[in-house]
């Protein structure tokens, strides 16, 4: 009998080890999507998983199937089938899963409003506990959704406004912390990215939760009605306000509308503001397939599987494919200076560099410096730091000179890179521009150690008969195959 138990124990141990190895193999081979690095780029799953989901995305949020009204439309009868589909897919692929959402005034069960306060509290408690028991290994949980805009009908049963003004939110997070002890708990709302006043009010709630150790991150939805027309300066202001809490930011429901060209321009201008902010740790888009998004013209892939220009650009910007005109890569080589200097510097200039609306070859702004021209005078606008141009054959940029000053026989311009441990030099060769002139520059990267770029930029040289002060501009710096 003991020997039999011993054999059984060995067999069970072997099975456990094999299961563990299989699980580890799934995680090891799970890289998916177009994003590289520590940040995720996710999307939603409805009732079925799109066949090309892992081609683009590496994080999963259920669109509706983990909302209370969808799970328990009939009291005491919970339907988890669609939620299980999304959760199991994420876990089998090693993708982070977010449970969305526990407490929300919209899509709550219709029957909850008719109960007594004590019954409401018991039902909400039961719902949160049931969700935690089934999906306790969720990486993230949207605990309270839209507290500023969609308060639940039962909020008075779970604390109401109370002494803090948001006692019902605090109670919800306390319950969620017990039900999901291993998950990062998030708050989520819309109307934040485009409204600094709403962001300030949001932070008041967040700080109440943070002081109690109840919140692990901040969700901002970023739907088209807040994103399409918001300014870059407002976006940066709001992100910095949220970042001052010390908590990570998660863009939770991003979508942007427009015809092909308008949507592309909006993504090019605004997505990098979100992605490159140091406090933003991940972005989830709210649908991507034509006919399967909640708002028209937000899709990135047509119903036939063709990628819209914004999707093509996203792939390039995040490092997932061959170059297209005016597109960038995850290496940081792409710069359009719409939201600032993009980390560029200048030397031997009177002023600058700065992002300027004086001129642009693409979008609305470029990088500007003012220089004093003289015979052989050298001036530079550049970006220093390690960069990787692997997979690309050319570096391109557009430059322009202002109408002021005496250009003489022409202002010399060239695109250059410094690479390798000895800072070897390669350039595009000289072109000249006259007052008000512009030109496109192309640097062939053949023979360059593309994995070890130390600096890249534009050099300007004054002609022998040049004099006076002028402004020079650089725009649309990108890699190309």
SS3 assignment, position 223? coil
Sheet bearing 469-480, strands edge to edge: 351-356, 366-372, 469-480, 394-401, 438-444
Tell me which residue of 220, 202, 213, 204 sits closest to 177, measured CA to CA: 213
What is the DSSP pairing of strand 60-62 with strand 40-45? parallel
At residue 395's C-alpha, the angle toward residues 391 and 401, to 5°, is: 165
What is the DSSP pairing of strand 424-427 with strand 378-387? unpaired
Cβ–Cβ < 8 Å for 284, 43: yes
How would you class 136 by CB atoms within 10 Å of its CB: exposed for 0-12, middle for 13-18, buried for 19 or more? middle
Distances (CA, A) of 251 to 55, 203, 331, 454: 20, 16, 22, 32
Cβ–Cβ < 8 Å for 386, 455: no
For 236, the token pair is 């940066």
Contacts of 474 (CB under 8 A, 6+ apart): 337, 344, 366, 367, 381, 397, 398, 399, 457, 458
SS3 assignment, position 42? strand
How would you class 210 by CB atoms within 10 Å of its CB: exposed for 0-12, middle for 13-18, buried for 19 or more? middle
According to DSSP H, which parts of 74-143 are helical? 81-93, 117-134
Tell me which residue of 225, 284, 215 sits closest to 254, measured CA to CA: 284
Strand extents, DSSP E, 21-132: 40-45, 60-62, 98-103
123 phi/psi in degrees, rounded to 5: -70, -40
Name 185's bridge partners: 141
Which residues participate in catalysis according to the annotation?
A: 253
């Amino acid at each position: 009998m003991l020997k039999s138990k011993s054999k059984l124990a060995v067999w069970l141990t072997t099975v456990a080890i094999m299961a563990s190895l299989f699980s580890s193999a799934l995680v090891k081979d799970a890289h998916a999507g177009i994003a590289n690095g520590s940040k995720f780029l996710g999307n939603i799953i409805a009732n079925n998983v799109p066949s090309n989901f892992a081609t683009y995305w590496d994080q999963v949020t259920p669109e509706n199937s983990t909302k209370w009204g969808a799970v328990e439309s009939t009291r005491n009868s919970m339907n988890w089938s669609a939620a299980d589909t999304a959760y199991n897919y994420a876990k089998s692929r090693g993708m982070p899963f977010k449970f969305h959402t526990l407490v929300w005034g919209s899509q709550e069960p219709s029957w909850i409003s008719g109960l007594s306060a004590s019954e409401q509290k018991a039902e909400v408690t039961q719902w949160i506990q049931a969700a935690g028991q089934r999906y306790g290994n969720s990486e993230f949980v949207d605990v309270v959704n839209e507290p500023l805009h969609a308060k639940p009908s039962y909020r008075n049963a779970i604390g109401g406004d109370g002494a803090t003004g948001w006692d019902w939110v605090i109670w919800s997070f306390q319950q969620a912390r017990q039900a999901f002890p291993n998950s990062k708990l998030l708050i989520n709302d819309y109307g934040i990215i485009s409204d600094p006043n709403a962001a300030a009010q949001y932070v008041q709630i967040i700080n109440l939760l943070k002081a109690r150790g109840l919140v692990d991150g901040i969700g901002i939805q970023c739907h088209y009605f807040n994103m399409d027309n918001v300014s870059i300066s407002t976006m940066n202001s709001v992100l910095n306000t949220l970042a001052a809490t010390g908590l990570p930011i998660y863009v939770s429901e991003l979508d942007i509308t427009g015809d092909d060209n308008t949507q592309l321009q909006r993504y090019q201008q605004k997505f990098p503001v979100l992605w490159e902010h140091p406090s933003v740790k991940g972005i989830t888009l709210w649908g991507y397939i034509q006919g399967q998004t909640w708002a028209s013209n937000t899709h990135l892939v047509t119903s036939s599987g063709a990628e819209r220009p914004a999707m093509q650009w996203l792939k390039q910007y995040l490092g997932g494919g061959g170059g297209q005109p005016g597109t960038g890569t995850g290496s940081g080589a792409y710069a359009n200076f719409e939201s600032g200097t993009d980390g560029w510097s200048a030397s031997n200039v009177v002023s600058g560099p700065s992002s300027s609306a004086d001129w642009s070859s693409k979008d609305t702004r470029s990088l500007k410096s003012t220089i004093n021209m003289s015979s052989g005078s050298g001036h530079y606008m550049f970006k220093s730091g390690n960069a990787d141009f692997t997979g690309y054959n050319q570096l391109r940029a557009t430059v322009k000179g202002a109408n002021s000053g005496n250009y003489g026989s022409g202002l010399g311009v060239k695109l250059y890179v410094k690479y390798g441990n000895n800072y070897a030099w390669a350039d595009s060769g000289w072109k000249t521009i006259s007052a008000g002139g512009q030109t496109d520059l192309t640097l062939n990267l053949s023979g360059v150690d593309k994995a070890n770029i130390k600096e890249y930029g534009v050099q300007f040289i004054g002609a022998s008969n040049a004099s006076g002060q002028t402004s020079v501009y650089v725009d649309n710096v990108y890699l190309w195959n």
